[in-house]
């Protein structure tokens, strides 16, 4: 069989789908990968081509709506699929799902699968103005594209429920839910907790919907009372309409209650250096960084929100807080400072949950079943 995978970011093909691609290749299938800028991303291209994957560029931008460029992307993908003649096409993240599935339907690819890794900007928050327009268009396009799918795979149970409530999810298309992208337990082994004052860590693209402003506000509340405690942020600037500007982040750093490390290609050292991992996101598919922190043996603070709530057994491997609640976030962070024995106990519980529920090999088995490979 010939398998085509469509992504919006070249690096995600290795970082998030690498093990799935390797599993498909191990079954003797031919794999093609397509993403914007893939041919010029030499490290990613080298990794894929060393395993026998054929690489292709896609002309769409990861963010924003531009009817002309998006139509160009649809035509490009249609021509690519006619040339490659895939038996199975998998698109993940919004644009590959929409334009990939539409193109695959036009050329009658035998099996078309959408992987919804989170609903994100199209569904998060109360929208107005430009954001409301973008949400409306995105939802209409999702509805149109998903009609042509043979299988829709989600990473939590809230997302298909929300899509159904908005009338987007076709009743005739089967749905499967997998436990996120999984985590490689061997690549993220348990790490000893560092000595010294407790260090909190958040890893995310600098988007408001990731709860970064709430994390900064909680740090501002706690830092004056707990000298030596660190509030670390790892992540790069993002062109998304919800992106946080550099000046705002640097303002938190100048205020003295935030340590910003910028984007990191490798996060294991950062996870090993923290005691508690924090992600106050408004919504996720299943957050990969939380899974990696759990596998490392770290207590988790996240929100009682779609995609996030599944990762934490409240009071066992961490705590859940309400979305956008800075005071509640600061309160549970302070619980670890007042009772530091929670750090080790909850960290050990996190590793157990990761092994039981989010083992990469278990997730890949479910994905291969959905893909019928």
Residue 193 lies in a domain: no
In terms of domains, do 204 and 170 share one? no
pLDDT score recorded for residue 92:
96
pLDDT score recorded for residue 323:
96
pLDDT score recorded for residue 60:
75
The tokens of 258 are what? Answer: 């935030």
In terms of domains, do 275 and 177 share one? no
In terms of domains, do 237 and 351 share one? yes
Residue 162 lies in a domain: yes
78: nearest Cα among 60, 110, 101: 101
In terms of domains, do 221 and 112 share one? no
The tokens of 69 are what? Answer: 């460029």
- Across the chain, which has 373 residues, the per-10-residue mean pLDDT values are 96 95 97 97 97 93 68 93 98 94 97 91 61 79 95 94 92 94 96 97 96 98 96 93 92 96 95 98 94 98 96 97 97 98 98 96 94 91
Check residue 24 and report its DSSP letter: H
CATH number at residue 212: 3.40.50.2000
- Segments forming the whole domain that contains residue 269: 199-357
Are the C-beta atoms of 290 and 302 separated by less than 8 Å?
Answer: yes
In terms of domains, do 206 and 160 share one? no
Residue 72 lies in a domain: yes
pTM across the whole model: 0.88
pLDDT score recorded for residue 239:
84
In terms of domains, do 156 and 284 share one? no
Residue 190 lies in a domain: no
In terms of domains, do 366 and 322 share one? no
Residue 188 lies in a domain: no
In terms of domains, do 28 and 160 share one? yes
pLDDT score recorded for residue 163:
92
Long-range contacts of 131-134 (CB under 8 A, 24+ apart): 131/241, 134/65, 134/241
In terms of domains, do 69 and 211 share one? no
* Torsion sign across C-alpha atoms 291, 273, 188, 33: positive
pLDDT score recorded for residue 371:
93
| 240 φ/ψ angles, rounded to the nearest 5 degrees | -50, 145
In terms of domains, do 119 and 213 share one? no
Structure-derived torsion over alpha carbons of residues 24, 25, 31, 34, reported in degrees to the nearest 10 = 70
Give the side-chain half-sphere CA count within 13 A for 32: 18
What whole-number distance in Å separates Cα of residue 207 and Cα of residue 249? Answer: 11
Q: How far is CA 254 from CA 18, 205, 248, 249, 361, in A?
A: 38, 20, 10, 9, 43
In terms of domains, do 338 and 365 share one? no
Tell me how many domains the chain contains.
2
In terms of domains, do 282 and 311 share one? yes
């Amino acid at each position: 069989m010939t398998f085509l995978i469509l992504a919006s970011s070249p690096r995600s093909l290795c970082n998030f789908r690498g093990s799935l691609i390797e599993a498909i290749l191990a079954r003797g299938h031919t794999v093609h990968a397509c993403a914007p800028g893939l041919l010029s991303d030499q490290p990613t291209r080298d990794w894929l081509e060393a395993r026998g994957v054929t690489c292709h560029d896609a002309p769409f931008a990861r963010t924003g709506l531009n009817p002309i460029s998006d139509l160009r992307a649809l035509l490009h993908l249609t021509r690519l699929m006619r040339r490659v003649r895939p038996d199975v096409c998998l698109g993940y993240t919004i644009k590959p799902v929409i334009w990939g599935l539409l193109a695959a339907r036009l050329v009658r690819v035998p099996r078309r699968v959408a992987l919804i890794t989170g609903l994100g900007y199209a569904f998060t928050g109360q929208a107005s103005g430009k954001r409301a327009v973008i949400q409306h268009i995105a939802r209409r396009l999702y509805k149109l594209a998903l009609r042509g799918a043979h299988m829709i795979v989600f990473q939590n149970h809230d997302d298909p429920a929300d899509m159904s409530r908005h009338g987007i999810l076709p009743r005739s298309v089967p749905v499967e839910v997998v436990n996120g992208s999984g985590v490689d337990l061997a690549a993220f082994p348990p790490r000893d907790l560092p000595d010294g004052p407790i260090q909190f860590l958040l890893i995310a693209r600098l988007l408001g919907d990731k709860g970064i402003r709430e994390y900064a506000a909680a740090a501002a509340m706690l830092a004056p009372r707990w000298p030596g405690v660190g509030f670390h942020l790892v992540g790069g600037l993002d062109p998304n309409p919800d992106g946080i500007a550099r000046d705002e982040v640097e303002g938190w750093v100048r205020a003295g209650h935030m340590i910003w490390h910028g984007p990191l290609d490798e996060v294991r050292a950062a996870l090993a250096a923290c005691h508690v991992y924090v992600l106050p996101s408004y919504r996720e598919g299943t957050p990969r960084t939380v899974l990696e922190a759990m596998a490392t043996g770290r207590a988790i603070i996240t929100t009682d929100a779609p995609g996030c709530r599944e990762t934490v057994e409240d009071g066992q491997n961490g705590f859940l807080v309400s979305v956008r609640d800075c005071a509640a976030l600061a309160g549970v962070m302070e619980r670890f400072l007042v009772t530091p024995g929670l750090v080790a106990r909850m960290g050990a519980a996190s590793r157990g949950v990761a092994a039981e529920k989010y083992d990469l090999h278990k997730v890949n088995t479910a994905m291969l079943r959905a893909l019928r490979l």
